[in-house]
Amino acid sequence: MAILSVFKRLWRWLPLIGFPLLFIGTTVFAFLGGLDESSTLVQRIVHHAALVLCFLCLWITVARLVHNSRPTPVQTFWQTILAILGISFVAFLAFQIQGDFIERSVPAASIVHIKSALLSVLLAGLSFFVVHRLGRLVRFRRTRTGERNWRLMILFIGVASLSTALVHHLFESYLPEGLYAILPIIVLCLTAIIFILMNSVRLAWIVRLSLRGKGAAIGLGTAIIVLLVCVLAALGNVGSIVGSATLTPPGNFLLFYSTPLTVVTFFFLFFGLIYALTSVLSLIFHLPTTADYRRSTDEMVAMRTLSGLLREVVESEKLHQWAVSTPVESGHANTAWLTVQNLESGSLTAHIVASRNIESKHINELCDITAIHNTIVQTREPVLIQDTLIDTRTRKSKSGKFESLLAIPLSTRTEVLAVLFASRDVIHAFEREDVEAIGVFASQATLVLENARLLEATIERERLANELAIARDVQQRLLPQTMPDLPNLNLAASSVAAREVGGDYFDILELGEGELAFIVADVSGKGTSAAFYMAEMQGIFQAVARIAPAPDIFLGHANQALGESLEKSIFITAIYGIINCQSGRIALARAGHTPAVLVDASGNAKLLCSDGLGIGLDRGELFKNVLEVEHLELKPDDLLVLYTDGVVESRNHEGEEFGYDRLLQTVQAARNEDAQGVHDSIRQTVDEFMGSNKSYDDDLTLLIIKWHGCKTLSSGTTQTSLS
Amino acid sequence: MSNFSVAFRDFDIATILTVYGELDAHTAPELESAIKKCVNEGKIYLIVNGHGLDYISSAGLGVFMAYIEEIRALNGDIKICALKPKVFNVFDLLGFPRIYHIVKTEEEALSLFNQGIQPV
C-alpha cells in the first residue's frame, strides 16, 4: 500500500517535473550538436523517446489544468480564442529570434534549435489546450460510445503521427522508396480524420443554450475558425505566397524539431477548426428551435412547481391560480381560466374561479362558459374550438385576442372537478401537442386538487369526530354517574348509544321523605338530533320532578314543555315513577314507552301496560286524559325492569328480534340476583343473542330496581301474621 | 339495501298507500315524501295499508306525525289498516290508536271517511 501511495504521489508530480527536465535536456542536447548523420539508431531512438515522453508530460499537464474547470460553452469558446491569440503572439515573438536554415534541415546557427524548440512547444501546447477544452463540449452528456470514439480519435492521431517518425527520422534509409512505405501512414491518418469528423458532430450542448448564448457562440465560433485558419496558414507556406518569401515558414521549424509532434499539432488544430465549423453551422440551424426548447423547459419547471405544491398543503385559490398560469407561462396559450360548477345556487351554472391575462367579465362577454362546462361535464371530453367565429358558444373579441379556444376537463374517476379553458390569438392555434400538453397540466392539477380536497375532507372528518367525542362525554355526564345507596332497595342502570350520541335517557332523583323518582326515556330516531331532545328531557326531569313529582303531573308538564320544541315527526316515550323507599309503594306512568317488567320472587312476570301517549304526539288535553297512573306495592325480592326498545328490538343474524318473551325469561332466570346481577344478565343475554352482530342498531338502556323489602317492617308483619 | 316500498292506489275518495318491508330511520323519508306528494296533489283522505309492513321503528312512527296536523286542518285524515299484530303492538304501545283510526280493512277505513268521523 505504501508503494502505491508513493507511486500515486509521484504520478501527480512526475509530468509537471518531467516536462521541463526533458524539454530542457533535449533542447540542450540539440543545441550542443544533437543528432547528425553519424548518430546510431539507438541514439536516435533514445532522443525521440525522450521527446515523446516530454510532450506526453505536457499533454497530461494541460489535461489536468483543464480538468478542474467546467465552463459554459460560451466561456469555453472565449478561453479558446484567448489561448490562440496569446500563444500565437508569443510564438510570433519567438519567431522573431534571428536564425534560419541554410537549406531544409540544415540550421544556420545553434540558436535555430532553441527557436524551433520554443515554437514547437508553444504550438503543441496550444493544440493540446484546444483539444482538451473543446473535448469538454464533445463529451457533454457522455455516452459509452462517445467516450470510446473520443479516445480512439486521440489514439489514432497519436499513432499516425508516431508512425511518421519511424519513416522520417529513424528508418528512412532502410525503407523502400515509394507508396508502400507511406501507405500505412495514409491509412492511419485517414482513420484519424474519420474519428475527428465523428467527434465533430457531437454537439449536444447546443440545444440547451438560450438564444443569446447561441448568438454569442456563433460569433465566437466564427472567430475561432478565422484564427485557426490563420494559424494553420502561417504554419504552412502561405506566408511565402503572400510575399515574404525570404523567410522560412514556421512549419519548417516544427518539422525540424520533431515530425510526429508537427503532425499531432496539425491534427489537433485541424480538429479544433472542424469542431468550430460544425458548431457554428449547427448553432445556426438550431436557432429557430430555441423557443420550442425553452417551452419544453418551462413545462418541466411548471411540473416541478406542481410536485412542490403536491407536497405542501395549499389553499384551493392558489391551486386554481397555478392551473391557469401554467398554460400561459409555458407558452401554450395567451389567456386561460378555470371554471367550476356553482353548487350553492342549485342550477348548473359555471363560474370562473381563476383567470390569467383576462378579466372575468370579458370572458362572459366572449363565450358561454356554462354551455361548454356542462357539455364537458357530460362527455368528459375536451372541447376544441379552432375558430371562435364559427362556434355558437363563442364570439370573437374586437381586440382579436380570442380566436381559438380549448377547454379541458379536470376530471377524477367519478366527477369533473373543474374545466380549464385556454385561448390563443390566432385561429387553428392549438396543435395536437398543445392539447396534449395542456391535458397533462389539467390532469396534474386534478391530482393536486383532489389531494387537497381529500385532505380537507379528512381534517373536517377528524374535527367532526372530535366534536362528537366531546358531545358523547357531555351526554354521558348528563346520566347519573353512580347509583345512590338506599335502604331496602338496590339499583343498577346503563345506557349504550348506537352512535356517538343517542336519544336514550335514564335518571333517578332523591326527593326527600324517602321518596325516589326514576325515569327511562327514549327520543324517536337516534344520533345528534335525538341527543338534543334527550338533554332537554334531562333538564325537565331534574327541574320538574322536584316540584311536581306525581307521575301524571310530571309527564303532563313534560309534554307541554317539549311539545313546543319537538319537531312534528319526533316524539319521546318515557316511563316515570316514584317509589317510597320505606313502604315499597310505587306510582308509575307510561308515556308510550315500552312497558316495565315486574317479576316477583316466585318468578311470576308481567308487563305493566298502563295507558299513555308518547310525549309530543298530542299537544292538547288528550295526553293528560289518556295517561293512567298505576299504583303498586312491591313485595320483598320483587324486580322492576325498565328499558328502552333497543333491548326488545335487538336483532340477530336472521333478523329475528330479541322480543318480550326472551326478556321476561331472562329476568325470571336472574331474579335471585341483585340489581347489578340482573342488569348484567340481561346485557349478556342480549349480546349473546346478537352474536357477532355487536354494533347496536338502536340505543339501549336498562334500569333495574330490586326491592329487598323493609326488613324491620316485614319481620314485624311476619310476626303479626304468626301471632 | 332498502327493503321498503310504497304503492299508491285510488280507492273511492281515498288514496291508499300500501307499504311493504321495514319502516325505519333509513326508509322513513320514502314514506314521508309519498305522503307529502299526496298532500301536495290535494289528496287528503289517506289510508295506509300495512299488511306488508314487517317492522316499524320510532322514526317510522314519526312519519305519521309529520303531516297529520296539516291534513286534519284540511279536514282530511290518515287512517291505518291491516297491520300485523306485532306491528300493531308498536303502534299501540305508543298510544297511536288514541290519535289515529287503526282498523282491520281498507273498507272500514273508507267508511270512516264517508261518515266523516275523526278520531280526536
Rounded Cα distance between A48 and A258, Å, is 8
Q: Round to the nearest angstrom and report the end-to-end CA distance of chain B.
A: 38
Cα–Cα dist A713/A692, whole Å:
48
For residue range A29-66, list pLDDT tens digits in order.
888 877 776 777 788 888 888 888 999 999 999 988 88
Q: A236 — phi, psi (to 5°)? A: -85, -155
What is the pLDDT, as a whole number, of residue A102?
Answer: 65
For chain A, helix (H) and strand (E) counts, in that order, are: 22, 17
Residue showing cell 515574404: A244
A311 vs A486, higher pLDDT: A486
Q: How far apart (Å, rounded) are the C-alpha atoms in residues A722 and A310?
A: 90
**Residue A397's pLDDT is what?**
79
Query: B100 vs chain A: nearest CA distance in angstroms?
Result: 11
Give the pLDDT of residue A363.
Answer: 85
Query: Cβ contact (<8 Å) for A571 and B96?
Result: no
Question: In this predicted structure, what is the pLDDT of residue A176?
Answer: 59
- The answer to whether B29 faces chain A, any CB pair under 8 Å, is no
DSSP class of A166: I
What local confidence, expressed as pLDDT, does residue A721 receive?
A: 37
**Across-strand partners of A505?**
A521
Residues in CB range of A53: below 8 A, 6 or more apart: A18, A22
Question: Closest to A573 (Cβ–Cβ): which among B63, B94, B99?
Answer: B94
pLDDT of amino acid B49: 94
Is B58 within 8 Å of A522 when comparing Cβ atoms?
Answer: yes
Nearest CA in chain B to A567: B66
User: Looking at the complex, does the CB of residue A457 fall below 8 Å from at least one CB of chain B?
Assistant: no
For residues A297 and A270, give the distance between their C-alpha atoms in angstroms, rounded to a whole number.
35
Q: What is chain A's Cα-based Rg?
A: 52
Contact A704, A675 (CB under 8 A): yes
B59 touches chain A (CB under 8 A): yes
CA distance B72 to chain A (A): 13
What is the arithmetic mean of pLDDT over A18-26? Answer: 89
pLDDT tens by residue, A459-512:
999 999 999 899 999 999 999 999 998 888 999 999 998 888 889 999 999 998
Contact: A524, B62; criterion CB under 8 Å:
yes
| pLDDT given for residue A713 in this prediction | 47
Position B50 scores a pLDDT of 92
CA diameter of chain A:
169
Q: Return the closest-CA partner of residue A630 out of A676, A579, A679.
A: A579
Nearest CA in chain A to B93: A592
Does A592 lie at the interface with B, CB-CB under 8 angstroms?
Answer: yes
Chain A hits for B65, Cβ within 8 Å: 568-571, 616-617
CA dist., res. B45 & res. B47, Å (int):
7
Buried b (16+ CB within 10 A) or exposed e, A591-605: bbbbbbbbbbeeeeb
Indicate the Cα dihedral angle A54, A58, A63, A69, nearest 10°.
160
Q: What distance in Å separates residue B47's CA from the closest CA in chain A?
A: 18
Per-residue pLDDT band at A720 (split at 50, 70, 90): very low
Can you tell me whether residue A612 is helix, strand or coil? coil
Span A696-712, mean pLDDT?
84
Judged by a CB distance cut-off of 8 A, whether residue A628 touches chain B is no
In chain A, whose CA is at the least distance from the CA of B24? Answer: A525
User: For residue A651, what pLDDT is reported?
Assistant: 87
Query: What pLDDT, on the 0 to 100 scale, is given for residue B1?
Result: 47
Residue to mutate among A504, A559, A569, with most B CBs inside 10 A, is A569
* Burial profile A2-41: b = 16 or more Cβ within 10 angstroms, e = fewer: eeeeeeeeeeeeebeebbeebbeebbebbeeebeeeeeee
What is the average pLDDT across A611-623? 90
Q: Which residues pair with residue A419 across a beta bridge?
A: A339, A409
**Percentage of chain A lying above the pLDDT 90 cut:** 40
A115, three cell numbers: 527557436
All cell numbers assigned to A66: 483543464
Q: Report yes or no: A622 at the B interface, CB cutoff 8 Å.
A: yes
Q: Which band of pLDDT confidence, cut at 50, 70 and 90, is reported for residue A693?
A: low
Listed residue (A406, A363, A403, A402) closest to A383, CA to CA: A406
Cα separation, A562 vs A554, whole angstroms = 12
Q: pLDDT tens digits, residue range A341-367?
A: 877 655 678 888 889 888 888 888 888
How high is the pLDDT of residue A718?
A: 38
Q: What is the mean pLDDT of residues A299-327?
A: 76
- For residue range A134-184, what is the model confidence (pLDDT) as tens digits? 988 888 888 888 889 999 999 999 998 888 777 666 555 555 565 666 788
Q: Report pLDDT for A519.
A: 96
Residues of chain A neighbouring B99 (CB-CB closer than 8 A): 613, 617-618, 622
| Residue keyed to cell 443554450 | A209
B91 → chain A, closest CA residue: A592
Which chain B residue shows the shortest CA-CA distance from A612? B95
* Residue in A717, A711, A708, A700 with CA at minimum distance from that of residue A671: A708
Taking 50 as the threshold, does the pLDDT of residue A326 lie above it? yes
Position A712 pLDDT exceeds 60: no
What's the CA gap between A494 and A257, in Å, rounded? 112
What is residue A26's predicted lDDT score, i.e. its pLDDT? 86
> Does residue A612 sit at the B interface (CB-CB below 8 Å)?
yes
Residues from chain A that touch B58, judged by Cβ atoms under 8 A, are 522, 524-525, 571, 573, 645
Q: What is the reported pLDDT for A719?
A: 38
**How far apart, in Å, are the Cα atoms of A383 and each of A85, A356, A369, A526?**
61, 19, 11, 48
Question: Among all residues of chain B, which has the CA nearest to that of A525?
Answer: B59
Instruction: Give the lowest-confidence range in A70-84, A100-114, A381-395, A671-685.
Output: A100-114
Q: Most distant CA pair in chain B: distance in Å?
A: 41
Give the CA distances from residue A509 to residues A512, A615, A700, in Å, rounded to whole numbers and listed in that order: 9, 21, 21
**Cell (9 digits) for A482:** 353512580
**Cβ of B58 under 8 Å from any chain A Cβ?**
yes
pTM for the complete prediction? 0.59
Task: For chain A, say whether B39 makes contact (Cβ under 8 Å).
Answer: no
Residue B99 contacts A where some CB pair is shorter than 8 Å:
yes
All three cell numbers of A114, joined, read: 532553441
Residue A589 C-alpha cell reads as 306512568
Least CB–CB distance from B94: residue in A526, A614, A622: A614
Whether chain B has a CB inside 8 Å of the CB on A394: the answer is: no
Give how far B9 is from chain A: nearest CA, Å. 24
Average pLDDT, chain A: 85
For residue A347, the model assigns a pLDDT of 65
Beta bridge partners of A596: A608
Q: What are the backbone dihedrals phi and psi of residue A17, each rounded to the nearest 5 degrees, phi first?
A: -85, -40
Confidence band (pLDDT; 50, 70, 90) for A392? confident
The grid cell for A201 is 458532430
Residue A427 CB contacts under 8 Å (≥ 6 apart), including other chains: A386, A387, A388, A389, A403, A404
ipTM of the complex: 0.91
Q: Which of A224, A248, A228 is nearest to A237 (CA)?
A: A248
Q: Kindly state whether B65 is in contact with chain A, defined as any CB-CB distance less than 8 angstroms.
A: yes
Q: Which residues of A touch B94 (CB under 8 A)?
A: 571, 573, 592, 613-614, 617
- Of A473, A465, A479, which is closest to residue A518 (Cα–Cα)? A479
Chain B residue at shortest CA distance from A614: B94
B74 three-state secondary structure: coil
Q: Which of B87, B24, B19, B96 is nearest to B60 (CA)?
A: B24
* DSSP-assigned beta bridge partners for residue A421: A337, A407
Joined together, the cell numbers standing for residue B115 give 261518515
Selected residue of B56, B57, B88, B94 to mutate for chain A interface (largest A Cβ count, 10 A): B94
Chain A, residues 511-530, CB within 8 A of chain B, namely: 522, 524-526
Give residue-wise pLDDT tens across range A406-463: 999 988 888 888 899 999 888 888 888 888 888 888 888 888 888 888 888 999 999 9
* CA dist A426 → A325, A386, A520 (Å): 19, 9, 77
Give pLDDT tens digits for A216-232: 999 999 999 999 999 88
Is the pLDDT at A124 greater than 50? The verdict is yes
Q: Name the residue facing B95 among A522, A595, A626 (closest C-beta).
A: A626
Suggest the residue from B31, B78, B93, B96 to mutate for an interface test with chain A (most A CBs closer than 10 A).
B93
Pairwise CB contact (< 8 Å): B58 & A573: yes
Give whole-number Cα distances, A466 to A371, A459, A462, A463, A629, in Å: 42, 10, 6, 5, 43
The answer to whether the Cβ–Cβ distance between B32 and A595 falls below 8 Å is: no
**B95 in contact with A, Cβ within 8 Å:** yes
Question: Do A569 and B65 make contact, defined as CB atoms within 8 angstroms?
Answer: yes
A605 Cβ contact partners less than 8 Å away, ≥ 6 residues apart: A597, A598, A599, A664, A667, A668
